[in-house]
Amino acid sequence: MNAIWNSVIGKIDPDASTLKYLLKDRWIRFHSLPESKRYAAHESERSIILYRHNIILDELWKNGSEIIIINTKWSESKKADEKLKTLGNYWESTIVDPKDAESPWRHMYYKKTNWSVGKLDNKILQTANDEISNFMVINMESKSLYHPYDGGMDLIISDKSILEHMKYKFIEFLSEHPEGL
């Protein structure tokens, strides 16, 4: 998994929350709801969230292309929990802050599957409801990474022309914040 990560992202720590800062020239953020609203209040807004995520990913990724879902779980223990095998194959465990004796551990798992519209709907809604976090998806073919959060999605795209295309095509989903946040 390290080789795949390094070929798409580079030799950067797989911490989803820091990628937008470390890879600013390859990063774009889209909001899940109009007017940058963070949480859905009713079913019609949940439908908008799924629509926006799926239409963007389907533009970026070819139907049937291989994706790698990366799940992160946090714990106080250095040892990964065996019960979490349902999240996929074990990748690695790292301490968040090696200088802090009480720092939590990040345990990462990955699962390969194929992209299709709707494939990630459950995870998208769980993330939108702030029930899970730090889940990412890599698409090797497009050399891109998708990281949803409870208000939208961050994309890391290696090809600058594709990045610009996505910005232009989905301009109405972009933030009005000067830094794109």
- The length of the chain is 181
Q: How far is CA 4 from the centre of its chain?
A: 15
CA–CA dist 144, 44 (Å, integer): 29
pLDDT band at 8 (very low <50, low <70, confident <90, very high): very high
Listed residue (101, 146, 102) closest to 120, CA to CA = 146
pLDDT, one tens digit per residue, over 84-141 is: 777 889 999 998 888 998 899 999 999 999 999 999 999 999 999 999 888 999 999 9
pLDDT, one tens digit per residue, over 127-149 is: 999 998 889 999 999 999 999 99
Q: What is the pLDDT of residue 181?
A: 66
pTM above 0.85, yes or no: yes
